[in-house]
Amino acid sequence: MTNYERIKTMSIEDMANLFAEISICCILQNCNSCPINDAQFCCTEYIKIWLESEVEEE
């Protein structure tokens, strides 16, 4: 399952939590804690790569 497929199956609450987690990292410019882009600034191309990549087991 890719990250995109996982997002499509999320509940509204789970999706809201993911977006909140991402936005906190962006506001604080703390990319080390970002669930999408490990310690790097996000760009459209990297987000696309992340969406198409396999989900990492939690």
In a domain, 34, yes or no: yes
Whole domain around residue 37: which residue ranges?
3-52
Number of folded domains in the chain?
Answer: 1
Q: What is the pLDDT of residue 39?
A: 60
In a domain, 21, yes or no: yes
8 Å CB contact between 22 and 34? yes
In a domain, 22, yes or no: yes
In a domain, 58, yes or no: no
Q: pTM for the whole thing? A: 0.71
In a domain, 12, yes or no: yes
Q: What is the pLDDT of residue 23?
A: 84
In a domain, 31, yes or no: yes
Show the CA angle centred on residue 22, arms to residues 14 and 39, nearest 5°: 135
In a domain, 57, yes or no: no
The token duo for 40 is: 């790097």
Q: What is the pLDDT of residue 52?
A: 92
The model's pLDDT over 1-58, given as tens digits with 9 standing for 90+, comes to 999 999 999 999 999 998 888 888 887 877 787 877 666 677 788 888 888 999 987 6
